[in-house]
Amino acid sequence: MPGVLLVITRGEPGGAQVHVLDLVRGLRDRIAFHVVVGDDEYLAREVRRLGVPVDVVPDLRRSVSPTADRRALRALRAIVAKVRPDLVHTHSSKAGLLGRLAARAEGVPAIHTAHAWSFSDGLSWPRKVMAIPVEAVASRWTRRFIVVSEADREIAVRYRVARDSQVRVVHNGVVDGPERAQPDADGPPILTMVARMAAPKDHLLLLRALTGIDAPFSVRLVGDGPDRPQIAAAVRELGLAGRVTLLGARGDVPALLATSHVFALISRQEGFPLAILEAMRAGLPVVASDVGGVREAVVPETTGLLVARGDEAGLRRALRRLLGAPHLRRTLGAAGRSAYEKRFTAEHMLAGTAEVYRELALAGHACVR
């Protein structure tokens, strides 16, 4: 059975971590996976439950530390030498840099999945100036890039961090489930946003837009993060305490979506967010910021409504339309569910990733199919 070493920086619940876990769950009967992560959190625990080996490298951290980074690189090289995988597949910025360097040093081909580039549109130029040269150098150690949207392919080629021939688009996908929403159900509509309370998410813009809407509604903000105190304060200051509830991190997101009428994801920058796919899976209409690859899932006036980055007035108009139009919510939600079934299931993502594996070091293994 061919072997793939998956390397990711953090193990806390998040889009990249769910993606890695879905890869392991969906392909472990065909691929001998081994996972490396920087902490012994959610991802490490879930992978172990599947019977897949995990190595924790505490020095693999998001922050820049020359001493810790050198130790992490040594640890990664030792793991690659021990496991001898056919392929190293990295996820997230720090793991992507050090993991690919370790693979190169040990003579193993590497793939990197960019869940969202660190130089995407909407990020500051000082950050881009630092990130682009580093990624351009790392691209020399990369056989293939997997990007989660056509928008991310365009950005990679535009900034010359990858050749177009190096890049494969594999849209994210999510596992199906039985939970379904009734977006036109009677009663005051419930709007739900599922997102980490930290940049680049823009909860404050959503709250400001809601202050101009007089129709009955309630809002559930699902997620946690460093910006939670600021968001809680804004709820009070904007007079929304009776309408907006901060639910924190939850393990029952599909059930919450099934009892919602509208889904929102307001952000300054995105790759191809899983939260939107989960809402479409439930049959919910989506209102979202038109950033990154979001419009590759949310087709304006078909599966949802899009607003420009930072456009408070435009967001207020979109929210007012959806909150006041049950028939529109039902129509957009049904179209979103149909689009999910055709393009964004976990099976689509797994097939696309397996195809990239086939192109490279695993091409001689007939069991990758």
Percent helix / strand / coil, the chain, rounded to 5? 45, 15, 40
CATH class of 190-343: alpha beta
| Count of alpha carbons within 13 angstroms of residue 285, beta-carbon side | 30
Q: Running DSSP on this structure, what letter comes out for residue 220?
A: E
DSSP notation for 142-191: -SEEEESSHHHHHHHHHTTSS-GGGEEE----B---S----TT-SSS-EE
Q: Residue 157, Cβ neighbours under 10 Å: how many?
A: 15
Q: Residue ranges per domain, the chain?
A: 3-173+345-359, 190-343
Which CATH number does 3-173+345-359 carry? 3.40.50.2000
Between helix 66-83 and helix 93-105 the angle, nearest 10°, is 50
d(CA 175, CA 278): 9
d(CA 35, CA 339): 32
What the block records as the tokens of 368 is: 């990758």
How confident is the prediction along the chain (369 residues), in pLDDT tens digits per residue?
889 999 999 998 888 999 999 999 999 999 999 999 999 999 999 999 999 999 999 999 989 899 999 999 999 999 999 999 999 999 998 999 999 999 999 999 999 999 988 777 766 667 777 888 888 899 999 999 999 999 999 999 999 999 999 999 999 999 999 999 999 999 999 999 999 999 999 999 999 999 989 889 999 999 999 999 999 999 999 999 999 999 999 999 999 999 999 999 999 999 899 999 999 999 999 999 999 999 999 999 999 999 999 999 999 999 999 999 999 999 999 999 999 999 999 999 999 999 999 988 665 554 454
Pick from 105, 107, 127, 104: which is nearest to 117 by CA?
Answer: 127
Task: Please tell me whether the overall predicted TM-score, pTM, comes out greater than 0.85 for this model.
Answer: yes
Q: Do domains 3-173+345-359 and 190-343 have the same CATH topology?
A: yes
